[in-house]
């Protein structure tokens, strides 16, 4: 609650330019607009992911972002804001970067997973206009599986937890809480809904306010962050129709059990 309040304060109109410093992490026509963002069918925040043999069921702690262009060679991924790389792993389908941000006094952490072509090292300073990695290429997807045809993005409220030294991943110092969230309380303790985070950060410039409130039907309402229904009702965007802790009625169990 305190961090949400701080977010609202920092991003409120007239209080600095923090919101302008937060960008969509993709090469989009407008990196300050959710209309430039498309998620996979099960890529919404807060969707329950079914158990797998080695992983209990858990909430999806981020969003699965689709590539913005049909570019299966070098579609770039950018940091959401300036910051510093604090953890890095490069093991194929699970390659990951964690970046620490301090924007206008608000600390937060972003996670980028299922990525390739990392251009940054541990402790690198990053700029939202310089790519840090790219989406998987066609060859990599054929090797790892097409369920990874997206990248997984998270925004953390709290510091990622420290890992012991791992010789196989020498630059992997921290882990997110990606598979740890089995309750709504747990999810909200660690994570922002990335769409809410973006929307709030840009709230001073939301240009598409709609009076309808039809974007999220009540039965799909959010147990995760009730305020989102109000927030999302301000937008007309296909990506948000199944956001909010509910399960989209057109999802099959097969889809829900896919990897994050
Ligand atoms: Zn995911």
Overall domain count for the chain: 1
Cα of 65 to ligand 1 centre, how many Å?
Answer: 8
pLDDT at 236 over 70: no
The two three-digit tokens of residue 77, written as one number: 């991924």
**Mean residue pLDDT across the chain:** 75
Cα of 112 to ligand 1 centre, how many Å?
Answer: 10
Cα of 225 to ligand 1 centre, how many Å?
Answer: 18
Check residue 17 and give its pLDDT. 47
Cα of 259 to ligand 1 centre, how many Å?
Answer: 7
Token pair 């009625």 in the structure block, residue: 249
Provide the CATH number for the domain around residue 69: 2.70.70.10
Comparing 181 with 97, the larger pLDDT belongs to 97
- Least confident span in 104-118, 134-148, 219-233: 219-233
Cα of 211 to ligand 1 centre, how many Å?
Answer: 31
Q: How confident is the model at residue 200 (pLDDT cuts 50, 70, 90)?
A: confident
Domain that holds residue 186: 2-256
Q: Around Cβ 256, how many Cβ atoms within 10 Å?
A: 17
Name the DSSP letter for residue 192.
E
Comparing 201 with 26, the larger pLDDT belongs to 26
Cα of 113 to ligand 1 centre, how many Å?
Answer: 8
CA 251 remoteness from chain centre: 20
Q: Are 138 and 67 in contact (CB under 8 A)?
A: no
The two three-digit tokens of residue 24, written as one number: 């969509």
Return the percentage of the chain with pLDDT > 90, whole number.
39
Task: List b or e across 216-248, with b for residues whose CB sees 16 or more CB atoms inside 10 angstroms.
Answer: beeebebebbeebbebbbbbebebbbbbbbbee
Check residue 149 and give its pLDDT. 92
Check residue 4 and give its pLDDT. 54
From residue 121, give the alpha-carbon distance in Å to each of 68, 88, 162: 25, 7, 18
Cα of 60 to ligand 1 centre, how many Å?
Answer: 6
Q: How confident is the model at residue 207 (pLDDT cuts 50, 70, 90)?
A: very low
The two three-digit tokens of residue 158, written as one number: 């709290």
Q: How confident is the model at residue 31 (pLDDT cuts 50, 70, 90)?
A: very high
Cα of 34 to ligand 1 centre, how many Å?
Answer: 18
């Amino acid at each position: 609650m305190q961090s949400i309040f701080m977010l609202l304060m920092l991003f409120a109109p007239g209080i600095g330019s923090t919101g302008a410093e937060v960008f969509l992490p993709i090469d989009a026509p407008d990196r300050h607009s959710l209309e430039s963002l498309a998620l996979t069918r099960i890529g919404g925040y807060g969707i329950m992911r079914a158990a797998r043999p080695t992983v209990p069921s858990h909430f999806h702690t981020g969003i699965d972002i689709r590539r913005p262009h049909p570019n299966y060679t070098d579609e770039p991924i950018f940091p959401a804001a300036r910051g510093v790389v604090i953890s890095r792993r490069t093991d194929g389908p699970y390659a990951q970067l964690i970046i620490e941000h301090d924007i206008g006094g608000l600390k937060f952490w972003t996670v980028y997973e299922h990525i390739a072509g990392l251009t940054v090292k541990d402790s690198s300073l990053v700029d939202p206009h310089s790519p840090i990695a790219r989406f998987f290429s066609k060859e990599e997807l054929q090797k790892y599986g097409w369920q990874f045809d997206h990248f997984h993005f998270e925004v953390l409220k709290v510091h990622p937890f420290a890992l012991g030294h791992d010789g196989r991943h020498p630059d992997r110092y921290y882990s997110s809480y990606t598979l740890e969230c089995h309750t709504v309380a747990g999810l909200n303790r660690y994570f922002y809904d990335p769409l809410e985070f973006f929307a709030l950060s840009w709230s001073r410039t939301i240009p598409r306010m709609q009076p309808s409130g039809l974007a999220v039907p009540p039965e799909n309402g959010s147990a995760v962050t009730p305020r989102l229904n109000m927030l999302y009702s301000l937008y007309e965007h296909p990506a948000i129709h199944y956001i909010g802790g509910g399960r989209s009625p057109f999802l099959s169990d097969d889809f829900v059990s896919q990897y994050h």
